Structure 1
């Protein structure tokens, strides 16, 4: 009978929980530390959804403001990172709706100017074409693909963020694969 030691506690989760508690109580330094910890993830997710550095920066800053406004209401029923992804997803959807109202074309959102540098994993032209195609998917398919593949979240984590069942995330990913085969 082989006994194994329990894995060490995840200190990063404990640290985040402590920072969240302090930030909820109005500690500005704790809030700053939370934003510093989450900002790259927020920006990366926004960039993948919109494909434009300037828009991604605007979205990331808007998300930080929304986190500040809502931190006191965060109840801890989900992981803090899931809550942040949810806010990011909603901010991207708000940005897309605002763009549609201004009459922008969806393909214009995915353009990356020559002065922008995409994240390393999207440096190749083939990868850029793939992510451009992903941005053309229907909303729920796009969101599921970006959360599962780009953000490397489990279907369960993506389901929590999207507010749907895990099986529905799997269905959206399956449908997205079929759609992408036709686009590429």
Structure 2
């Protein structure tokens, strides 16, 4: 009981070190601690609960394989952002391929892409839906800065680019969002 409580209070770096050595309890603690965060990032990226759940599960699987590659040169959560965004992008590409196959060959497959999502109910959801229509890098910058509350500097670490580049993506995203949201405001 004390060992489990100690693991729950342990720092991420300590848990990562233990997990890299094969400690399953430490790995489970990491997953439990960060699952909601991973799900939230995935949901903001794709906007669909079922897809966000699939992405979060994929991240957990990938984390088990990839944790050996985490060297602690940055924060664990920064690395986890990257892992989550990569899984979200891969999921989106899979859905796009599935939709293309269905359209091209008339293949009928039940997938999350085939489920009709309800229209956004409030202004915040409408805004996130518009964010998801932005070019990928702009979407990612907005997700990290406004969705997750990261500074431009921290977002640049996640995105692997200069802080000024993040600022530019945010600037361009604001311009596009004004145009995308204009029809909503006029209704």
* Structure 1 residue 64, shift from structure 2 partner: 0.7
Q: Which runs of 4+ in 1 moved over 3 A?
A: 111-114
Deviations 1:6-57 (A, max 9, x none): xxxxxx9961111111001000000000001110000000001001111100
Match of 1:29 among 4, 22, 25: 25
Aligned twin of 2:37: 41
* Structure 1 residue 112, shift from structure 2 partner: 3.8
| Alignment gaps of 5+ in structure 2 | 1-7, 104-112, 182-187
| Alignment gaps of 5+ in structure 1 | 1-11, 115-122
In structure 2, the CA distance between the partners of 1:150 and 1:57, relative to structure 1 (3 Å rule), is: same
In structure 2, the CA distance between the partners of 1:178 and 1:160, relative to structure 1 (3 Å rule), is: same
RMSD of equivalent CA atoms: 2.3
Q: How many equivalent residue pairs?
A: 163
Aligned twin of 2:56: 60
Match of 1:101 among 89, 97, 102: 97
* Structure 1 residue 170, shift from structure 2 partner: 0.4
Q: Is the 8 A contact 1:86 1:162 kept in 2?
A: yes
Q: Is the 8 A contact 1:52 1:112 kept in 2?
A: yes
Deviations 1:106-132 (A, max 9, x none): xx69x6448xxxxxxxx9611111010
* Structure 1 residue 74, shift from structure 2 partner: 0.6
Q: Where do residues 1-184 of structure 1 align in structure 2 (5 Å cutoff)?
A: 15-103=11-99, 112-113=117-118, 125-184=122-181
C-alpha distance in 1, partners of 2:69/2:176?
Answer: 38
Aligned twin of 1:3: none
Q: Larger % of helix: which? A: 2
With normalisation by structure 2, the TM-score equals 0.81
Aligned twin of 1:118: none
C-alpha distance in 1, partners of 2:65/2:135?
Answer: 30
With normalisation by structure 1, the TM-score equals 0.82
C-alpha distance in 1, partners of 2:50/2:150?
Answer: 25
Aligned twin of 1:117: none
